[in-house]
Amino acid sequence: MRFKRLISLVLVAIFITSGLAFANEVTFVVNDQTVDHGDMIVLVNGKLYGCVAEFAQRYGAETEWFENAGLAVVKYGEKYISFKLNATEVIVDNETLTMDAPSITVENRVYAPIHFLIEQFSGNFVWNEQTLTLSLQSEGYTVDNDSIMIPTYTEEDVLWLARIVDVEAGGGSPEQMLAVANVVLNRVKSDSFPGSVYDVIYQEGKYKQFPPAHKESFLVLEPKASSILAAKKALNGENNVEGCLYFNNRPFSGKGDDLYKVIDGEYFYQ
């Protein structure tokens, strides 16, 4: 049963969208299968949240909204779990529990810290902050066959791509970081370059583009969250530089006709 929405619901929580990572950046793996979770899982300022109603539904629970009380109440077997808007307190049956972060609202739906949700249902999970991947092992969670995805990239791809974004554009805008990530992926797709993210980054010779990758510190670099987001956006098909294969912090001599755009002082070439 889906979360009941009432047109007259007035949201009391203020949600800062700049800190939000939606579905295509957070990878969800359930019982070793990657699944499309839509917008059931969001990342807000480093905190992972799950949509209460959608998450409960996967465990066979029902959720109802009580407007007067401002409560989303989940019935899971004989257990009742009551989430109040923008509050850390949750009533489980007759006991009041405290979450480590308040519930939030996104597009008229209540979200709660996902580790609390899993504790109330069943399962064990691992959150890989480097690759923004949530892995859940649970016999109670139901996966629709049509939501199962065939991954087109690995966690290693995310990490290497995020690292090169971090060293090449970590201080730039999200647009510049996304552009750098896409130059790498455009090379992977091109017959003129190696066929993997790792090999493109470490390519030598006349096509060498990424000198920072050859520093010893690059091998252990932990990329910032913004670099990981840019990498995952690019890996999921978001491209703001079309087929560009080169970039530089000053114009390339003799390649003026190939210039595609300049982003934050960085020149991107076809």
- Give the 3-state secondary structure of the chain: CCCCCCCCCCCCCCCCHHHEECHHHCEEEECCEEECCCCCEEEECCEEEEEHHHHHHHCCCEEEEECCCCEEEEEECCEEEEEECCCCEEEECCEEEECCCCCEEECCEEEEEHHHHHHHCCCEEEEECCCCEEEEECCCCCCCHHHECCCCCCHHHHHHHHHHHHHHHCCCCHHHHHHHHHHHHHHHHCCCCCCCHHHHHCCCHHHCCCHHHHCHHHHHCCCCHHHHHHHHHHHCCCCCCCCCCEEECCCCCCCHHHEEEEECCEEEEC
Q: Which of 92, 113, 147 is where one domain is finished?
A: 147
193-206 tens-digit pLDDT? 999 999 999 998 77
Shared domain check, 250 and 175? yes
Pair 61, 143 in one domain? yes
Domain hosting 228: range is 155-269
Q: pTM to 2 decimals?
A: 0.72
Residues counted in the chain? 270
- Do 21 and 142 fall into the same domain? yes
**Please, which residues bridge with residue 73 across strands?**
64, 82
Q: Closest Cα partner for 258 from 266, 248, 269, 247?
A: 269
Q: Is the pLDDT of residue 99 over 60?
A: yes
For 3-51, what is each residue's pLDDT tens digit?
333 323 333 333 333 445 444 578 899 999 999 888 899 988 889 999 9
Question: Of the candidates 147, 178, 202, which is a domain's last residue?
Answer: 147
CATH, residue 80: 3.30.457.10
Quick one: 77 and 163 in the same domain?
no
Q: pLDDT class for 65, splitting at 50, 70, 90?
A: very high
Q: 6-20, 114-128, 151-165: lowest mean pLDDT where?
A: 6-20
Q: Do 138 and 37 fall into the same domain?
A: yes
- 61 and 174 part of one domain: no
Instruction: Check whether residue 142 and residue 256 sit in a common domain.
Output: no
Q: Is residue 110 part of a domain?
A: yes
pLDDT (tens digit per residue) in 231-246: 999 998 999 999 999 9
| C-alpha separations of 32 from 123, 125, 134, 135 in Å | 13, 11, 11, 8
Q: Are residues 133 and 245 in the same domain?
A: no
Q: In this model, does residue 2 exceed pLDDT 70?
A: no
In a domain, 120, yes or no: yes
95 within a domain of the structure (yes/no): yes
**190 and 136 share one domain:** no
**Does some domain include residue 70?**
yes
Is 212 part of a structural domain of the chain? yes
242 and 187 within one domain: yes
Same-domain status, 171 and 127? no
Instruction: Specify whether 189 is located in the same domain as 205.
Output: yes
pLDDT for 1 equals: 38
Q: Is 232 among the domain residues? A: yes
Domain count, the chain: 2
In one-letter notation, the amino acid at residue 27 is: T
Residue 177 lies in a domain: yes
Domain boundary at 113, 147, 181, which?
147
- 235 closest CA partner among 190, 200, 185: 185
pLDDT for res 150: 87
Whether 7 is covered by a domain: the verdict is no
Q: Which of 119, 67, 62 is nearest to 90 (CA)?
A: 119
Q: Tokens 């509050």 — which residue? A: 87
* Distance (Å, whole) CA 65 – CA 194: 53
